[in-house]
Amino acid sequence: MYNAIYCEFLKLKKSPIGIVLILGGMVEPALMVFGQLYRGDIVEWNKYMNQIECITFLIVGGILFTLVSSYIYVREFMEKVSSVTYSYSISNTKIFFAKLITVFICIAYVYVLQFIASILLGCLLDHEPLYKETLIIHTKIYMYSLFFQCAIVPLSILIASISEGVIMPITYSVIGTFISLVIMSSKKYGVYFPFTYPVLPIMSIGVENSVVILSKYVFIVSIMFFIVTVLSCIIYYEKHDIS
């Protein structure tokens, strides 16, 4: 399994995905900083971080991570070398999980990079004091959002695997993002649509921004969604001739 994961990262090293991941982590903080400079505003940490988080978790993230995960799973099909990849001595299921772990690491990389970049770039501007409590609450927001993002990404993987391309999953992601923007005007309805879950932590900050309050229902749905979509992927990989 380790060797399979290592091979996936070697493939990414030779692709433009590395640059895409860096841009995904850096663009929103950079744009926010330019906006702050243009307006001459002082950085109010919670407002500043929440704006970056909303853009990433609700709009950019879904499309970005769908693109990355789809590329990781269909690269061999696009380059007509799938017969080589799926003739390895390990099972198709292990190849699937190696790719899935690679996707999770890529998503986590973007989250960590963006969090660090947001803090460092914000510190370069005039800013209000950055308290430990602020760092803790936004660390929690990123961690919860990362969990939900990883929970929903297998559906993109399934669509990409079946279609053997990136067009269908990207289309699904764009439609999902549009629906999310429409229904997120009400937190009440957002909990019924898993695509909105990565942004829910921002909307669930408790009294005085000290805690993130999320319903158990959201976690149960996320876990069930993940299990069902992953099992569907495994069945597809084992039952279909994808080589």
Can you tell me the distance from the alpha carbon of 229 to that of 235, in angstroms, rounded to the nearest whole number? Answer: 10
Domain interval for residue 87: 2-239
Phi-psi region of 164 (alpha: psi -120 to 50; beta: other; left: phi over 0): left
Return the closest-CA partner of residue 200 out of 210, 213, 209. 213
CA 124 to mean position of chain CA atoms: 27
**∠ CA(64), CA(74), CA(8), 5° rounding?**
85
Beta bridge partners of 43: 127
Model pTM score? 0.90
Can you tell me the distance from the alpha carbon of 87 to that of 31, in angstroms, rounded to the nearest whole number? Answer: 45
What's the pLDDT tens digit per position in 4-33? 787 888 888 878 898 999 999 999 999 998
Other CB atoms closer than 10 Å to residue 38's CB: what's the count? 8
Other CB atoms closer than 10 Å to residue 181's CB: what's the count? 13
Q: What is the mean pLDDT of residues 60-88?
A: 78
Task: State the first-to-last Cα distance of the chain, in angstroms, to the nearest integer.
Answer: 19
User: Which pLDDT band holds residue 75 (cuts at 50, 70, 90)?
Assistant: confident
Can you tell me the distance from the alpha carbon of 228 to that of 202, in angstroms, rounded to the nearest whole number? Answer: 26
Q: State the DSSP string of 134-176.
A: HHHHHHHHHHHHHHHHHHHHHHHHHHHHHHTSSHHHHHHHHHH
**pLDDT at residue 203 is higher than 60:** yes
> Would you state the pLDDT for residue 183?
83
**pLDDT at residue 174 is higher than 80:** yes
Q: How many structural domains is the chain composed of?
A: 1
Distances (CA, A) of 45 to 42, 139, 220: 9, 13, 31
What's the pLDDT tens digit per position in 100-147? 999 999 999 999 999 999 999 988 888 888 888 889 999 999 999 999
